[in-house]
Structures are given as C-alpha cells and as structure tokens.
Structure 1
Amino acid sequence: MDGAVRDHRGSPRGRAVRALRAGRLQRHLGGLGHHGRQLRLVLHVVSPVREELPRRLRGRSQRRAPGAAARGSETRVKLGNPLAAIFHPPPTPGVLAVFGHLDAAVDAIHQLKRDGHKDFTVYSPLPRHELEDALAQPVSPVRMYTLIGGISGCAIGTWITLYMSYDWPVQVGGKTIGSIPPYVVIMFEMTVLFGALTTLLGIAFNVLLATRHQGTIAYDPRFTNDKFGIFVPASRAQAAPVEALLKRCGAEEVRHG
C-alpha cells in the first residue's frame, strides 16, 4: 500500500492527459483529493489520496526501518510457561543407588530410616511385600475424598427431596408431605454419584502430585527389568554420607542424580 501510494505520488504534476474543464462538481466529490473543482482524466483508477499522507507514511516507515533492524538483531526474551513449573519442575539433587538383590534393598531402607531419612523413593521391577513392610507407607488418602463425597451426596439428596416436597406440597391419602422412607433411594443414588466423582478427583489430584514428584528425581530403566533402586534426596554436602551408607548396604552402583 505504501509503495503503491509512493509510486502514484511520484508521478509528475503535469499529467499525460491534459485536464479538461467539465463544469462545476459537487462539494463532496473527491473527498480527500484537491481536485480544484475540475474533472481530471487519469490512466488508472486510483482512490483519491492526499499527497501529504504518503509522504508522512514514507517518512514514518523510514524511521521505523533502523529500529526494526536493531530489534531484530537483539536477543529475544523467551517468556516462561507457568505450567512448566507444575509438570516439568527442575531436577532434584540426590543419590541414586542400584541394587541387584532384594535383601540388600530392604536392608538399605532400614538403615536410611535409622539415620532419619524419610523422604526417599524405592524402585522395584515387581511388587514385593518385603518392600511394603519395610517402607510402612500410610494408607492412601483417596478414601477420604470418597467419604467426603458420599456424605455430601447424601446430604444434598436429602435437602433436594425435602425442599421440593415442602416447596410444592401435595398431600396424598393423608400421608406426611416430607416422608423419609420413599426418599432413601434418591439419597443412596446421590451418595454413590458424589462418592464416585470425588474418588476420581482424589485419584487425579494424587497422581498429579506423584507425577510432579517423580519427574524431578533420577531414574534408571533397569528398574523395570531385574534391578531394585533407591533415590535419596540430598544436597552436595549431604551426598557423601548417604553414598557411603548405600554402598555399605550392598549397592552395585551409586551415582548422583
């Protein structure tokens, strides 16, 4: 647009076709052009544009060109993704040990607990009750979501049925308006519905937290084959004692995560 206007503006003032006077024109004809109340013939149909406008645009574009080149040469600042801190947190420093025997891994768990380490992760290629007994993990908190959802659903079912009965009372055969026994079915269904929904919510919430935690610690693909592993979060100053402890317990390989 700017180039087309400049080309049109750069044409000489003496037109190739001589202006012809064709009488007086209306005041609004031409709008932006200085036609001098004359009808002029041109080779191409071009919308009337003031000559000052393309000059101003050209000067402004010329002034912007050096600035745009300077901005292009500068390093672009990459904006941070707020979700990256949740799904891709930075790695956690610590010590990762690889064990070839179950007894050595169980012994290492007991030794870590005696030294006061509680926040560590154990990898196993298959479920073993020896590891579960050694870890003595608390019960999953998902059942609390189910309990809260079931109680809430039962209360909501009771409130809905009684409120609707008294809001539009219809007495049939002399029976009471707000009768609990017929509404037990609705209360039960609401209990099951809300309990199931809150259970799914609790599972998703705990999986998200576990995924965020598991994504920050070291891992070895051999833990899905035939090796056991233990990862202990520790700073560089605390890594040496933890590494010595894991080696004493029979770790085949110990490295910093």
Structure 2
Amino acid sequence: MAFLKPSSRAAARASGVVASFLHVDAAVDAIRALRAKGYRDLVVYTPAPNHEIEEALEHKVSPVRLLTLIGGLTGCTAGFAMTIWMSYDWPLVVGGKAIASIPPYVVIGFELTILMGALSTVAAVALFSVLMGKRGTPYDPRFSDDAIGIFVPTASDQLGPIEQLLRSAGAVEVRHETA
C-alpha cells in the first residue's frame, strides 16, 4: 500500500510554540487572543470534546460533506437513468403498463444514492486527510489526560511574543518546538 505512505511533507515536524493549560477558560482566552493577533493555523489537543474551544477556533466547514452530496446525487441520477434505459432497451410490456414506471425504480435509485454517497465520503476523507498530509505537530500524553494543549506554528523570530501571550493567558508550561 504505497499510496498510503505519508508524504515527505507530512513526515516533517512543524516548528512553533506548545503551551499546556489546566483550565478550559484559560485555553479559550489564549485561543481568542492568538486569533485576534492573526494566528489562524492553531492545533488544540483536549482530553474530551469542548464546545467553547470549538467556537473559539472558528473552523471552516469540512469539504467532505459537499463531495458526499455530489456522490449521492450522482448515484441517484445513475440509478434512475440506468433502470429507465434498461426498461426501454429491453421492454417487458405486461398488462398495458407503462414501460418506464418510476415507483419500482425508487429502490434502485435509493440504493445507488447510498452506495455512491458512502464511496465518495470514503474517497473524500482519504483525499483530505491521508493524501494531503499535514506537518507533524508536537504532542504530550498529558493532553489526553488532564491538560489542554495549544500548538502555534510560527517562525523562530516570533516565538517571544507568542510565549508571553500564552503565559499571560494562564499557560502552565510553554516550550519551543523546532523542526
């Protein structure tokens, strides 16, 4: 499975600042302060999902849902087109009924909608996660236990102001990560 190997870009680690927080409010304040300063590509680790952090990050909507919709509509169209084409190509006239009767074809249209929607979702997830690759971000096992981690990818000349901002927001630990 050579196509699933991470690219060289994905293998490289990003450099920046990692901060640990013990309280959600402090982490949310730090995220809002960083976003106000123009930092958008933040990586946040939390031990459990937190809606306040999600709102502070203001993530864009995933493009996977659009590709799922396109796949589903393609499947529905293909299902109806295939059954109608087959009916006219090999007609079975029974009791004077119409050759292309839509109600029985709903089942095939529905099945192909689900099939193509699911396949396009799997393909989109593979495209946007595995194949696009992201630079590795630093991780601390405490981020899965009791701490909240924020990684700010940045150049080495901006480390000082970011470190001060994170400490003033209530970071317990701030460390530099280099590529």
| Common fold by TM > 0.5 | yes
Unaligned runs of 5+ in 2: none
Match of 2:37 in 1: 115
Counterpart of 2:152, as a letter, is V
Counterpart of 1:179, as a letter, is S
Match of 1:57 in 2: none
Give the match's secondary structure for 1:255: strand
Q: Aligned ranges for residues 90-169 of structure 1 at < 5 Å?
A: 90-169=12-91
The alignment yields a C-alpha RMSD, in angstroms, of: 2.1
Give the match's secondary structure for 1:112: helix
Using a 3 Å threshold, how does the CA distance of structure 1 residues 100 and 209 change in structure 2: closer, same or farther? Answer: farther
Match of 1:185 in 2: 107
Match of 1:175 in 2: 97
**Whose RCO is larger (CA < 8 A, sep 6+)?**
2
- Compute the TM-score of the two structures, normalised by the length of structure 2: 0.87
* Number of residues of Structure 1 aligned to a counterpart in Structure 2: 174
Give the match's secondary structure for 1:230: strand
Q: Is the 8 A contact 2:6 2:130 kept in 1?
A: no
Counterpart-to-counterpart distance in 1, 2:58 and 2:9: 28
Match of 2:174 in 1: 254
Q: Aligned ranges for residues 204-219 of structure 1 at < 5 Å?
A: 204-208=126-130, 212-213=133-134, 216-219=136-139
Counterpart-to-counterpart distance in 1, 2:6 and 2:104: 52
Counterpart-to-counterpart distance in 2, 1:85 and 1:185: 42
Q: Could you list the per-position Cα deviations for residues 187-225 of structure 1 after superposition, in whole angstroms to 9, with x for gaps in the alignment?
A: 111111211222222333344268x32x51111111111
Using a 3 Å threshold, how does the CA distance of structure 1 residues 144 and 84 change in structure 2: closer, same or farther? Answer: closer
Match of 2:121 in 1: 199
Counterpart-to-counterpart distance in 2, 1:84 and 1:202: 17
Q: Could you list the per-position Cα deviations for residues 138-166 of structure 1 after superposition, in whole angstroms to 9, with x for gaps in the alignment?
A: 33333222211110111111111111111
Task: Give the structure with the larger helix fraction.
Answer: 2
Between the aligned residues of both structures, percent identity stands at 51
Give the match's secondary structure for 2:11: coil
Counterpart of 2:99, as a letter, is I
Unaligned runs of 5+ in 1: 1-82
Give the match's secondary structure for 1:171: coil
Q: Could you list the per-position Cα deviations for residues 36-78 of structure 1 after superposition, in whole angstroms to 9, with x for gaps in the alignment?
A: xxxxxxxxxxxxxxxxxxxxxxxxxxxxxxxxxxxxxxxxxxx
Counterpart of 2:29, as a letter, is D
Counterpart-to-counterpart distance in 2, 1:141 and 1:223: 28
Counterpart of 2:86, as a letter, is M
Q: Greater Rg, structure 1 or structure 2?
A: 1
Counterpart of 2:125, as a letter, is I
Counterpart of 1:142, as a letter, is V
